[in-house]
Amino acid sequence: MSFRTPSDAALDASRFEDLLRSGAEHQACLRPQAVAKRQRILFLGNSYNPLSAACLQSLVELGYDNVVGFYDPFTKGTWRLIRDSVKSRGWGPVLRRAIHLTRCKTRMALRRVGFPLSGFSSLPEISRTFGLKTVRCGDPNSAEFVEQVRRLGVDLIVVALFTRILKRELTSIPRMGCVNVHPSLLPRYRGPEPFYWVLANRETTTGVTLHYMDEGIDSGDIIVQREVEVRPDDTEPTLRDRSARVITELLPEAIPLLLAGKAPRVQQDNSAASYYSFPARGASPSGRSDRVRAVPTVRAQKSISVPLDEGLEALDPLQDPRWGVFVEENARASVFHSVSWLDALRRTYGYQPVVYTTSPPGAPLQSGMVFCRVESRITGRRLVSLPFSDHCEPLVDNASDFERIFRHLRSRVASGEWKYVELRPASASPGPFSSQESLQPSKSHYLHTVDLRPQENELLRGFHESSVRRRIRRATSEGLLYESGRSEVLQREFYQLLVLTRRRHQMPPQPEKWFRNLVECMGDAVEIHVASRGDKPIAAILTLRFKKTVTYKYGASDSAYKQFGPMPFLLWRAMQGAKLKGAEAFDLGRTDHDDPGLIAFKDHWNGVRTVLNYWRFPTPDPGSLRRTASGLELAKTFFGILPTSALKLAGELLYRHIG
């Protein structure tokens, strides 16, 4: 174990040691004054994670006024948590965690009866033993929790293995900022389970990093790092335990510096960054022999690695802040380009996003094409821009830039690395690259957009009388109730109606976690609108807001109440709300060419109908498209006879392969 300063640091080691000494002096000065005024720290961690427990214990020993907000994954339902964990990692890790949880609960019970114990295993055990103030923290980004933290008057927020992404509204509250403890040597091994990947990739060194939090994932400026040796016989638990001991040495040195405003701040080198998501099912290197059989890195899974052409860069839009800035400033960008949408896709389906650009490394972006890597043993490996997105315009302004990017993509397909590349521009033709003969339309849809700029009365008069306005009046006269927001109640009502609708269409519903992730990642940009008759929800839609456009993305209804006009009623109320928030356009979403009823319904809203083509290289064989269509009809027959629980399970298993 050794001290480590961040790579490319602006501070040399001797200067940092001086800061540590001054921090120790500051800490020594604080303790005699603790009675007068103690600085307050809010600690956010995972209830039963050993690293979280080690961090909190270290903070308690420093003598600050600690408030604990812990995340307990079991608050969302034990059986659902077990089911999700088994799907993602298999039974081995789930059983180990169950044993650890049982041990934690047993220790708490023994402490309650006065049994003497050494050490601590969970945040509830530490909090109860030392009488710490605790706050409920189901959703750390909710308005209620943010306001509660603001009232606490905390000086610093310390986060450790919290498994929740915090938004700026929360992290900007404490006067000294918000810091995170991450168990790797950043910028390497960003992501949720670095211990697994360090062992799987046979690293000889890892470490612990304390860094400031920003809106990215483990991408904030580094404060201090410590190296940890990876031994030949290490397992995830032994490596975790040794890292926990390092944390208890690191925090007492760094926290006084932070509270004194003297902590270093070194920007991460994003060009050296690596991000690893959750391991594949069944992959758990618990010992040396398992390490040999561990799942290889993402790079090792590719058949051939094609180097980037000179002047071309591939960046991670979830880590590189330039992408978010570029999307906000680009007039042709949509909600589907946004970092929050990409993050929801990654969390739900495991798709890793990548942006290809001709802009120089580190320079502001002038162009960019964003894709998701869809890797499936069933449907093949491909680059799609973007999965489950109605459209995603390539943000490239000239043909030469596109040619450089597309030439690289063609080479990756030719190498066998990808089965195909698919683009989904909002324009009828793919703009500056329409001359690409090898890029041909594979699917065709319609896109309807309603102009919200006219006055409300004028807008309403433009709608079709019998199909829209009369049904809105009927819904109003029947006393349909309208509610909008993103509460858990509305999410549940929306999803119940969605399952009902998808069953009517003989198709599995999207995974429920997809909608939870949308709400968590996109915040108030997501809005759920529900129409009820009495106390019974009968229709619901989900909209997305980005700049001055609101997009209708999902709709669901109970067909038994269709005569009351709930869907036109909801769409009109959503348009009214969008106008009040400054929106100028309402995107009614994609419609398949072979759905004349839905096309006619959207035409009645007096919007502009445009052709929406999806383009693919290489061009799909017409025979394969016909076989896919036939297979879908056969699948619908099968889905139509499944019970609801099996239909929902089918959606959870299959959607990630569709993309």
Q: Which of 484, 586, 580 is nearest to 529 (CA)?
A: 484
Residues ≥6 apart with Cβ < 8 Å to 329: none
Is 491 part of any domain?
yes
> Same structural domain for residues 6 and 143?
yes
CA gap 495, 253 in Å, rounded: 48
pLDDT digits (tens, 9 = 90+) for 621-653: 666 656 666 666 777 788 888 888 898 988 888
Nearest alpha-carbon partner for 578 in 629, 607, 543, 613: 543
Instruction: Give the model confidence (pLDDT) of 2-38 as tens digits.
Output: 334 444 433 333 444 454 444 444 444 444 333 334 7
For the ranges 2-16, 385-399, 441-455, 587-601, which has the lowest average pLDDT?
A: 2-16
At 21 the three-state DSSP class reads helix
Could you say which DSSP state residue 318 is in?
T
**End-of-domain residue from the set 400, 423, 445:** 445
The reply to whether 427 and 555 lie within a common domain is no
CATH of the domain at 440: 3.40.630.30
The answer, yes or no, to whether residue 499 has pLDDT greater than 50, is yes
Q: Of the ranges 238-242, 279-283, 542-546, which one carries the lowest mean pLDDT score?
A: 279-283
Pairing of strands 536-546, 526-533: antiparallel
Looking at the structure, tell me whether residues 515 and 651 fall in a common domain.
yes
- Whether residue 225 is found in the same domain as residue 87: yes
Query: How many angstroms separate the CA atoms of 622 and 472, rounded?
Result: 43
603, 596 Cβ separation under 8 angstroms: no
Q: Give the span between the Cα atoms of 479 and 435, in whole angstroms.
A: 55
Whole-number pLDDT of residue 371:
95
Concatenated DSSP letters for 557-626?
E-GGGGGG-HHHHHHHHHHHHHHHTT--EEEEEEEETT-HHHHHHHHTTT-EEEEEEEEEESPPPHHHHH
Same domain, 352 and 334: yes
The Cα–Cα gap between 270 and 602 comes to 45
pLDDT at residue 378 is higher than 50: yes
Q: Answer with the one of 445, 464, 480 that is the final residue of a domain.
A: 445
The closest of 222, 226, 228, 220 to 252, measured between CA atoms, is: 226
Whole-angstrom Cα distance, residue 656 to residue 510? 10
Clarify whether residues 139 and 256 are in a common domain. Answer: yes
* C-alpha span between 565 and 480 (Å, rounded): 9
> Closest Cα partner for 240 from 350, 89, 96, 90?
96
DSSP H or E stretch at residue 342: helix 339-349
Nearest Cα to 314, choosing from 412, 197, 217, 218?
412
Give yes or no: residues 83 and 127 share one domain: yes
Which candidate, 306, 116, 285, 260, places its Cα nearest to that of 201? 285
Whole-number pLDDT of residue 343:
93
Q: Are residues 345 and 475 in the same domain?
A: no
pLDDT of 492 > 90? The answer is yes
The reply to whether 470 and 426 lie within a common domain is no
Q: What is the DSSP letter of 278?
A: P
Cβ neighbours of residue 37 under 8 Å, at least 6 residues apart?
none
Give the HSE-up count for residue 578: Cα atoms under 13 Å, Cβ half-sphere. Answer: 34
Task: State the pLDDT at residue 115.
Answer: 76
Q: Which helix (H) or strand (E) holds 309?
A: none
Task: Let me know whether 439 and 527 are in one domain.
Answer: no
Same domain, 323 and 457: no
Cα separation of 517 and 345, whole Å?
Answer: 8
Give the span between the Cα atoms of 223 and 10, in whole angstroms: 11
**289 lies in some domain:** no
Residue 376 domain-assigned? yes
Query: 45-54, 218-227, 525-534, 535-544: which has the minimum mean pLDDT?
Result: 45-54
Residue 419 has pLDDT above 70, yes or no: yes
pLDDT at 496: 96
Cβ-proximal residues to 637 (8 Å cutoff; 6+ apart), any chain: 506
Task: Provide the mean pLDDT of the chain.
Answer: 82
| pLDDT score, position 344 | 94
Q: What is the mean pLDDT of residues 388-396?
A: 93
pLDDT of 167 reads: 86
The 10s digit of each residue's pLDDT in 594-617 is 889 999 999 999 999 999 989 888
Q: Which domain holds residue 561?
A: 453-583+627-658
- Region for 282 from its dihedrals, namely left if φ exceeds 0, alpha if ψ lies in -120 to 50, beta otherwise: left
User: What's the confidence (pLDDT) of residue 570?
Assistant: 97
Average pLDDT over residues 581-595: 93
SS3 183: coil
Residue 597 lies in a domain: no
Tracing tokens 């080479």 back to the chain, one arrives at 411
Q: Which is nearest to 413 in space by CA: 387, 379, 380?
A: 380
**What local confidence, expressed as pLDDT, does residue 634 receive?**
76
Pick from 18-22, 73-77, 440-444 the range whose average pLDDT is largest.
440-444
Phi and psi, residue 120, nearest 5°: -140, 150
pLDDT in tens, 307-333: 566 678 888 998 888 999 999 999 999
Domain count across the chain: 3
| Arithmetic mean of pLDDT, 560-566 | 95
Mean pLDDT of all residues in 555-565: 95
Sheet-wide strand order for 421-423: 313-315, 352-357, 369-376, 380-385, 421-423, 608-617, 440-451, 585-592, 549-557, 536-546, 526-533, 481-485
The confidence score (pLDDT) of residue 34 equals: 39
Give the percent of the chain with pLDDT over 70.
Answer: 81
Residue 322 lies in a domain: yes
User: For residue 598, is it within any domain?
Assistant: no
Asked if pLDDT for residue 477 goes beyond 50, the answer is yes
| Calpha distance 183→164 (Å, rounded) | 16
CA distances from 609 to 119, 348, 449, 571 (A): 66, 31, 7, 17
Residue 299 lies inside a defined structural domain of this protein? no
Beta strands 133-134 and 156-160: pairing type? unpaired
Characterize 307-331 residue by residue with b for buried, 16 or more Cβ atoms within 10 angstroms of its Cβ, and e for exposed.
Answer: eeeeebbebbbbbbebbbebbeebe
349 and 266 share one domain: no
Q: Is 507 helix (H, G, I), strand (E, B) or coil?
A: coil
CATH code where residue 122 lies: 3.40.50.170
The answer to whether position 592 is within a domain reads no
DSSP H helices in 357-439: 399-414
pLDDT of the residue at 292: 29
Identify the domain boundary among 389, 422, 445: 445
CB of 510 closer than 8 Å to CB of 655: yes
Question: What is the pLDDT at residue 455?
Answer: 95
Q: Where is average pLDDT lowest: 238-247, 551-560, 603-612?
A: 238-247
